[in-house]
Structure 1
Amino acid sequence: MFKPQIKIPATYMRGGTSKGVFFRLDDLPAEAQQPGAARDAILLRVIGSPDPYGKHTDGMGGATSSTSKTVILSKSQQADHDVDYLFGQVAIDKPFIDWSGNCGNLTSAVGSFAVSAGLVPADRIPENGTVVVRIWQVNIQKTIIAHVPITNGEVQETGDFELDGVTFPAAEVPIEFLDPADGEGAMFPTGNVVDELEVPGVGVFPATLINAGIPTIFVNAADIGYSGTELQGAINEDPKALAMFETIRAYGAVKMGLIKDIAEAESRQHTPKVAFVAAPASYSASSGKVVEANDIDLNVRALSMGKLHHAMMGTAAVAIGTAAAIPGTLVNLAAGGGERTAVTFGHPSGTLRVGAEAALVDGEWIVKKALMSRSARVLMEGWVRVPGDCF
Structure 2
Amino acid sequence: MSFKPQLKIPATYMRGGTSKGVFFALTDLPNEAQQAGAARDALLLRIIGSPDPYAKQTDGMGGATSSTSKTVIVSKSTQVDHDVDYLFGQVAIDKPFIDWSGNCGNLTAAVGAFAISHGLVSASRIPDNGIAIVRIWQANINKTIIAHIPMHNGEVQETGDFELDGVTFPAAEVLVEFMAPADKNAAMFPTGNVVDDLLLPESVSEFAQRGLSSIRATMINAGIPTIFVNAVDIGFTGKELQDAINNDATTLAFFEQLRAHGAVKMGLINHIDEAKARQHTPKIAFVAPPVDYVASSGKSIKADEIDLQVRALSMGKLHHAMMGTAAVAIAVAAAVEGSLVNIAAGGKPRSQVVFGHPSGTLKVGAKASFTQGNWQVEKASMSRSARVLMEGHIRVPETR
Q: TM-score, normalised to structure 2's length?
A: 0.97
- Give the % identical residues: 74
* Equivalence for 1:28: 29
Deviations 1:94-132 (A, max 9, x none): 000000000000000001111111111111111110010
User: Residue type matched to 2:24 in 1?
Assistant: F
Q: Is residue 103 of structure 1 aligned with residue 104 of structure 2?
A: yes
Counterpart contact for 1:235–1:308, Cα < 8 Å: yes
Distance 1:344 1:267 in 2: 33
Which of 336, 343, 350 is equivalent to 1:340?
350
Q: Is residue 330 of structure 1 aligned with residue 370 of structure 2?
A: no
Counterpart contact for 1:13–1:379, Cα < 8 Å: yes
Counterpart contact for 1:140–1:184, Cα < 8 Å: no
- Aligned-pair CA distance for 1:183: 6.0
Q: Is residue 16 of structure 1 aligned with residue 26 of structure 2?
A: no
Deviations 1:346-384 (A, max 9, x none): 000000000000111112111100010000000000000
Which of 236, 244, 266 is equivalent to 2:276?
266
Deviates more, 1:136-145 or 1:179-188: 179-188
Residues 184 and 3 (structure 1), Cα distance of their counterparts in 2 relative to 1, 3 Å cut: farther
Counterpart contact for 2:187–2:374, Cα < 8 Å: no
Distance 1:146 1:238 in 2: 38
Counterpart contact for 1:286–1:348, Cα < 8 Å: yes
* Equivalence for 2:291: 281
* Equivalence for 2:215: 205
User: Residue type matched to 1:75 in 2?
Assistant: K
User: Residue type matched to 1:280 in 2?
Assistant: P
User: Residue type matched to 1:223 in 2?
Assistant: D
Q: Is residue 243 of structure 1 aligned with residue 272 of structure 2?
A: no
Q: Is residue 353 of structure 1 aligned with residue 383 of structure 2?
A: no
* Equivalence for 1:178: 179
Counterpart contact for 1:141–1:183, Cα < 8 Å: no
Distance 1:221 1:3 in 2: 53
* Equivalence for 2:232: 222
Distance 1:147 1:265 in 2: 35
Deviations 1:64-90 (A, max 9, x none): 000000000000000000000000000
Deviations 1:198-239 (A, max 9, x none): 223422110000000000000000001100000000000000
User: Residue type matched to 2:111 in 1?
Assistant: V
Distance 1:198 1:162 in 2: 41
* Equivalence for 2:388: 378
Q: Is residue 160 of structure 1 aligned with residue 161 of structure 2?
A: yes
* Equivalence for 2:79: 78
Distance 2:184 2:323 in 1: 18
Deviations 1:11-32 (A, max 9, x none): 0000000000000000000000
Q: CA RMSD in A?
A: 0.8
* Equivalence for 1:53: 54
Residues 184 and 96 (structure 1), Cα distance of their counterparts in 2 relative to 1, 3 Å cut: farther
Structure 1 runs (4+) deviating above 4 angstroms are: none
Distance 2:185 2:49 in 1: 30
User: Residue type matched to 1:160 in 2?
Assistant: D
Distance 2:183 2:354 in 1: 22
Equivalenced residues, count: 390
User: Residue type matched to 2:95 in 1?
Assistant: K
Q: Is residue 142 of structure 1 aligned with residue 152 of structure 2?
A: no
Deviations 1:171-200 (A, max 9, x none): 000000000113662211001000011223
Q: TM-score, normalised to structure 1's length?
A: 0.99
User: Residue type matched to 1:50 in 2?
Assistant: P
Deviations 1:280-338 (A, max 9, x none): 01100000000100000000000000000000000000000000001000000000012
- Aligned-pair CA distance for 1:2: 1.8
User: Residue type matched to 1:170 in 2?
Assistant: A
Deviations 1:6-65 (A, max 9, x none): 110000000000000000000000000000000000000000000000111000000000
Distance 1:24 1:128 in 2: 25
Q: Secondary structure at the match of 1:315?
A: helix
Structure 1 gap ranges (5+): none
* Equivalence for 1:37: 38
Q: Is residue 364 of structure 1 aligned with residue 374 of structure 2?
A: yes
Distance 1:364 1:6 in 2: 51
Structure 2 gap ranges (5+): none
* Equivalence for 1:254: 264
Q: Is residue 313 of structure 1 aligned with residue 314 of structure 2?
A: no
Distance 1:137 1:125 in 2: 20
Distance 1:343 1:2 in 2: 56
